[in-house]
Amino acid sequence: MDEDERGLEPGETGQVQSENNEAAGLENSDNFEAPPAKERDEIKSEIEGLQDEQEDAASSSVDEEVSSASISEGKGGKEYIKKQSKPVDLRKIMGVIGAIVFLIVVVQLIPCQHEWVPATCESPKTCKKCEATEGEPLGHDWQKATCEEPRTCKRCGEQKGKSLGHVCGDWAVEKEASCSEMGIEKGTCLRCGKEVTQTIEKLPHTEGEWVITRPVSVASDGALTPGTREMFCAVCGETISSETYTIEMTTSQKNAFRTALSYLDLMAFSYSGLIEQLEFEGYTTEDATFAVDNCGADWNEQAAEKAADYLDLMGFSRYGLIDQLMFEGFTYEQAVYGADAVGL
Please say which residue, 147 or 344, places its beta carbon nearer to Zn ion: 147
Please say which residue, 48 or 141, places its beta carbon nearer to Zn ion: 141
Please say which residue, 103 or 190, places its beta carbon nearer to Zn ion: 190
| Least spacing, CB of residue 244 vs Zn ion, in Å | 23
| Least spacing, CB of residue 151 vs Zn ion, in Å | 11
Please say which residue, 123 or 317, places its beta carbon nearer to Zn ion: 123
User: Rounded to the nearest 10 degrees, what angle do helices 299-313 and 332-341 cross at?
Assistant: 60
Please say which residue, 108 or 220, places its beta carbon nearer to Zn ion: 108
| Least spacing, CB of residue 234 vs Zn ion, in Å | 7
| Least spacing, CB of residue 134 vs Zn ion, in Å | 10
Please say which residue, 26 or 167, places its beta carbon nearer to Zn ion: 167
| Least spacing, CB of residue 153 vs Zn ion, in Å | 3
Asked if residues 283 and 291 have their Cβ atoms less than 8 Å apart, the reply is yes
Please say which residue, 85 or 113, places its beta carbon nearer to Zn ion: 113
| Least spacing, CB of residue 177 vs Zn ion, in Å | 11
Give residues in contact with Zn ion (CB under 5 A): 112, 114, 121, 127, 129-130, 132, 140, 147, 153, 155-156, 158, 166, 179, 189, 191-192, 205, 233, 235-236
| Least spacing, CB of residue 174 vs Zn ion, in Å | 18
